[in-house]
Amino acid sequence: MNKKNILQVAIVSILAVSLLSGCSGASKESTTTAKKYTISTDATYAPFEYEKDGKYVGIDIDILDAISKSEGFTYELKPMNFKGIIPALAANQIDAAIAGMTITDERKKVLDFSDGYYESGLSAVVSEKNTTIKTLDDLKGKIFAVKKGTSGATYAEANQAKYKGTIRYFDDTPAMFQEVINGNADVTFEDYPVVAYRISIDSKSGLRIAGEKINKDFYGFAVKKGSNKELITKFNAGLKKIKANGEYDKIIAKYIKK
């Protein structure tokens, strides 16, 4: 091989290495770019998510924010009516949801859940003026106000025949509570931390918890069944980290005083 050919080969080799180096750099940059998800939440479910001073805050929002920072992903928050969240997941309109959503066997048929991130439980809630309902045995023949698509609605439907009750449906928690306060319904069924928070911050809430918790369950971060497995993995990993470093406890204490 003469000198001219050797020089040409050398130049080609240098250019090839440069191009490969450039490709390597681009690949590294693309893999480190944070993936962005569209994540829905309920719009009126204090203390887990609610609007304050023009932005959404609450336990779920803070947990999601902490985990996203820990696991290196970003998200667009999409508040909506709770009843629309599961259909939106099924239609691939959103990637995931964190909305005080109870993990149930029925929901597991269409959703994949994270590890439970908060222990909840259902309570019967009545007007503070109501002195007749003290236990579940006092629910016979009563009017139930429930929020569509919730565990409270499921409980009312499952026990309607047993208690010979009448069910009235509402789109959001405040409207459901107001129906009970106004005396147009006798009882509603709501997650204990939600109603306990409402009563604790408002001495004039007009509500009272009747008896002990009906059951014990857990809230979970949800995606459409069979999709976004990597996001569930990230959420579970981040949840473990914020529990271990104490950030989780700080978030809960910020909204619920023990």
Cα–Cα dist 256/194, whole Å: 10
pLDDT at 242 over 50: yes
For the stretch 129-147, pLDDT in tens is: 999 999 999 999 999 999 9
Least confident of 32-41, 112-121, 172-181, 221-230: 32-41
> pLDDT tens, 205-219?
999 999 999 999 999
179 CB-contact burial (10 Å; exposed 0-12 / middle 13-18 / buried 19+):
buried
Please list the residue range(s) of the chain that carry CATH number 3.40.190.10.
Answer: 34-119+218-255, 122-215
Q: What is the fold, at CATH topology level, of the domain defined by 122-215?
A: D-Maltodextrin-Binding Protein; domain 2 (3.40.190)
Each residue of 75-130: pLDDT tens digit?
999 999 999 999 999 999 999 999 999 999 999 999 999 999 999 999 999 999 99
| Average pLDDT value for the chain | 88
- Write out pLDDT tens, residues 49-82: 999 999 999 999 999 999 999 999 999 999 999 9
Find all residues with CB under 8 Å of 129, minimum gap 6, and list them: 183, 206
Residue 161 has φ and ψ, to the nearest 5°, of -65, -40
Q: Which residues on neighbouring strands pair with residue 96, listed in sequence order?
A: 39
Of the candidate CATH numbers 2.40.110.20, 3.10.290.10, 3.40.190.10, 3.40.800.20, the domain formed by 34-119+218-255 belongs to: 3.40.190.10
Alpha helices for the chain (secondary structure H)? 3-32, 59-71, 85-90, 105-108, 151-163, 173-181, 192-201, 229-244, 247-255
Q: Is pLDDT above 50 for 200?
A: yes
What's the pLDDT band for 257 if we cut at 50, 70, 90? confident
164 half-sphere exposure, CB direction, 13 A CA radius: 4
Return the pLDDT at 33: 65
